[in-house]
Structure 1
Amino acid sequence: MDNIIKANQFIQEGKLEEAAKILNEAIQENPNDTVAYVNFGHLLSIIGEKERAIAFYQKAIEIDQTMATAYYGAGNTYYDQEMFEEAVGMFKEAIANGLVEADAYFMLGLCYYNLGNLPHALANLLTATEKNPTDIDAMFQYGLTLAQTEQVDEAISVLEKVIKLDENHADAYYNLGVAYAFKEDIEKALASFEQALKIQPGHLLAGNGKKQLEALL
């Protein structure tokens, strides 16, 4: 296990060749070392060897079908390849095997969002925000999904929470502007677009939204 800790440290430091050497030795010494397979999968995913990464995660799962981190790693790798159906299966298995953390629900929610299954996306993103109320990415994505399902008042409330967590979140201000425009609150919509542009002067969507509202006025 000391070698695995050392390999993880090397991965975090970007010393991937050293990490690979240690993990390879760990697997040779113990071909049933599931943690080594999972970490090797993580390393391969980092360098873009996605298919090989999946093979290592699958090997860990063959050895231990309750290895939640192997399912989670495979889910992330499938997600990176936009294989969202496969990713859903892996994230659900990770959760079923005890990985009931915010990140797992967030990734599952993103998968459903990309598949166009907004009710399932909402449910999982809500769980992610409940488990980690300071996760800005989960909160923002939850707000976007609420807006897409035309729950505009709820979306505004969530996007305002995002801004409280990060006052420089230009995309949150832009989407607030869209929501206020939908409600025909032109003053608040303009103010939101302007704030997005103040934070990020090159925000094309906010600039376009501002121009359209000014044309209407």
Structure 2
Amino acid sequence: MGALSERRAARYGFSTAAILLGGLVLASCQSGPAVDLANVDVAQASTENISSLTQVVSANPQDPEAYNVRGSAYGRGGRYQQALKDFDTAISLNPNFYQAYANRALIYRFMGDQNKAMADYNRALQINPSYDAAYIGRGNVYRQAGRTQEAFNDFQKAIQLDTTDARAYHNRGLIYQGQGQHAYAIEDFSTAISLAPDASEPYNGRGLSYLAMKQEDNAFADFNMAIKLDAKNAEAWTNQALIYEQRGEKAKAAKSYREAVRLKPTYQPAKDGLSRTQ
């Protein structure tokens, strides 16, 4: 039941909010929308694209947006040190560049430095208290640290700002789910699905809450959809197997548990389920 991470947010097609880097290359100026790393598609991190972005940086060495765009591409490609260097440069050129602070914070999160991530999210929100992406990012840092109420407050704030980012609803839904408030969780997961219909994890999350409310058919449909959207989702395979097991279909359950274990060998619920059913 992991949170919908920023990496997977792009991978699973939050296309309504995605900004194509190519367009930013052609209109790389501060008056335009600054790129948000969370909304950059992984495909934009190709060597060819980064090469073209480097040409833009070379032609515009004093343009902070050029560094921010290339840093986002580096970040999506897992080249974190290069990304940090570009965001550092963007911020040095424009100390009020709140998007660059939030993008750098996300890189720090990927690298496991939650303290630096928190400091950058705080700075981004100090500059722009209405920046929804920073509330969502900081909320994830809070949630990881077990500071559930503060996480909830940040996701709530992003939603109050009319965010169209499905992560805010998905992550608030996870908190409701953890508190046993499954009706609220289902509502939030459903909103996340409406905003990002190609994302697997909100279906898996909603399925768990349906299961908790003894709506087995709805849960089963959601787990099946989660698998259809992402065949590598070990949690969804495990949850599908659990319903098969509850229905007495042990052979089907074992097959799904086995797939979950193959995908995630250390996932204990799948290992336990396979032991019960094979």
TM-score (norm: length of structure 1): 0.80
> Are residues 44 and 195 of structure 1, via their aligned partners in 2, closer, same or farther at CA, if it must alter by over 3 Å?
same
Structure-to-structure mapping, 1:14-93, within 5 angstroms: 14-93=78-157
Native 8 Å contact 1:171 1:196 kept in 2:
no
Query: 1:80, CA displacement in angstroms?
Result: 2.6
Query: 1:71, CA displacement in angstroms?
Result: 0.9
Query: 1:147, CA displacement in angstroms?
Result: 0.5
- For 1:143, the equivalent position in structure 2 comes to 207
Native 8 Å contact 2:166 2:195 kept in 1:
yes
Q: SS of the counterpart of 2:96?
A: coil
**Higher RCO (CA 8 Å, separation ≥ 6 residues):** 2
Structure-to-structure mapping, 1:118-137, within 5 angstroms: 118-137=182-201
1:7 paired to 2:71:
yes
* Number of residue-to-residue matches in the alignment: 207
1:110 paired to 2:174:
yes
Q: SS of the counterpart of 2:162?
A: coil
Amino acid paired to 2:272: L
CA distance in 1, matches of 2:178, 2:275: 25
> Are residues 22 and 177 of structure 1, via their aligned partners in 2, closer, same or farther at CA, if it must alter by over 3 Å?
closer
Deviation string 1:111-170 (CA, Å, 9 cap, x unpaired) is: 222344333222111222233333222111211111112222321232233344456766
> Which runs of 5 or more residues in structure 1 are unaligned?
212-217
> Are residues 162 and 45 of structure 1, via their aligned partners in 2, closer, same or farther at CA, if it must alter by over 3 Å?
closer
Amino acid paired to 1:204: K
> Are residues 121 and 196 of structure 1, via their aligned partners in 2, closer, same or farther at CA, if it must alter by over 3 Å?
same
Higher helix share: 1
Amino acid paired to 2:97: D
Native 8 Å contact 1:173 1:192 kept in 2:
no
Structure 1 residue aligned with 2:272, among 193, 205, 208? 205
Amino acid paired to 2:206: Y
Amino acid paired to 1:106: H
Identity %: 26
> Are residues 37 and 151 of structure 1, via their aligned partners in 2, closer, same or farther at CA, if it must alter by over 3 Å?
same
> Are residues 197 and 60 of structure 1, via their aligned partners in 2, closer, same or farther at CA, if it must alter by over 3 Å?
closer
- Runs ≥4 residues deviating over 4 A: 166-171
> Are residues 56 and 170 of structure 1, via their aligned partners in 2, closer, same or farther at CA, if it must alter by over 3 Å?
closer
Native 8 Å contact 2:182 2:213 kept in 1:
yes
CA distance in 2, matches of 1:61, 1:156: 40
1:95 paired to 2:159:
yes
**Which has the larger Rg?**
1
Native 8 Å contact 2:245 2:277 kept in 1:
no
CA distance in 1, matches of 2:95, 2:113: 21
Q: Judge which range, 139-148 or 24-33, deviates more.
A: 24-33
Structure 2 residue aligned with 1:190, among 234, 242, 250? 250
Amino acid paired to 2:188: N
Query: 1:66, CA displacement in angstroms?
Result: 0.9
Native 8 Å contact 1:173 1:195 kept in 2:
no
Native 8 Å contact 1:10 1:19 kept in 2:
yes
Native 8 Å contact 1:75 1:90 kept in 2:
yes
Q: SS of the counterpart of 1:52?
A: helix
